[in-house]
Amino acid sequence: MNEATVFKQRLLNGLLPPLEAAGFVAGCWEGGAAATGRADEYSDLDLCVVAAAERAPDVFALLEATLVTNTPITHTWRVEPPPFPGMAQRFYFLAGAPRFFAVDCAVLTPEGAAQFLERERHGKPIVLFDRAGQIAARPLDRAAHDARMWRRFEQIRASWPVYRMLVDKELTRGRHLDAFGFYVGGVLRLLVELTGMRFRPDRFDYGWRYLHHDLPSDVQAELRSLAWGVTPELLPDLLPRIDTLATRLTAEIEAASRAH
């Protein structure tokens, strides 16, 4: 086993007994790279704990007290606002941990947990304990997911000309930082979303995550050429290329939809 796996297992050996002994914790599983079969020597511990929303502070307090007895916490990020409904989340860096290692703990209500158990999006949970027998991968709610994707698709199509205009405007003004901001935070971000809809529709909203795994190598190369080494001098030449790629992706997404 690599260093991160050994360290993670040592943490779990200390964390699981007190979590399982706490009556307000209904279950616990490991998600993230472990659940998708992509764990490597740089992977974190993605810990999902099921508890009522009002008990989330108690879960974090128990987790932190247990961590401190094994290894000091050097940094904590309390994620506010929570990124998903029915969820509270904190990240921890630990003294003596392998480089890049973190503990990502999500406390989920039973209702909130369901969205993180969809097989196509999150893989197969590594169940650590489950009092009610409810932690199991389940199929994606295809109708709801597709409806959400198409709402986002229409938003991208509507917002694209606005972001493109803003990039051109700020370049013309000579405000290069502003133009770069609209390029990266606007058109390039939207392009990555379109790429997701085209090549990984089940996880279209994952943004920049897992592109290495999910995209064809030629598409990765094209995105790299549009993202790296961008300067005010190069930006005007990149914009027609990004327009062409966005137009192609849009047509392919619509064609795939008609085929289904």
User: What pLDDT digit, counting tens, does each position of 65-108 carry?
Assistant: 999 988 999 999 999 999 899 999 999 999 999 999 999 999 99
Give 103's contacts (C-beta < 8 A, 6+ positions apart): 11, 44, 45, 47, 67, 91, 92, 94
User: For the structural domain made of 3-130, what CATH number should be given?
Assistant: 3.30.460
- Quick one: 114 exposed, middle or buried, by C-beta within 10 A (0-12, 13-18, 19+)? middle
For residue 256, name the pLDDT band (cuts at 50, 70, 90): confident
Please state whether the peptide bond connecting residue 85 to the residue before it is cis, i.e. omega within 30 degrees of 0: no
In 10 A of CB 7, how many CB atoms? 18
Percent of residues, the chain, with pLDDT higher than 90:
91
Give me the residues paired with residue 104 across strands.
46, 91
What's the chain's average pLDDT? 95
19 pLDDT above the threshold of 90: yes
pLDDT at residue 180 is higher than 80 = yes
Distance CA 48, CA 45 (A): 10
Percentage helix, strand, coil for the chain under 3-state DSSP, each rounded to 5: 60, 15, 25
Reported pTM: 0.90
**Tokens 């998600």 found at:** 31
Looking at per-residue confidence, does 152 or 1 come out higher? 152
Phi, psi of 60 (to 5 degrees): -65, -40
**Joined tokens for residue 131:** 């009092």
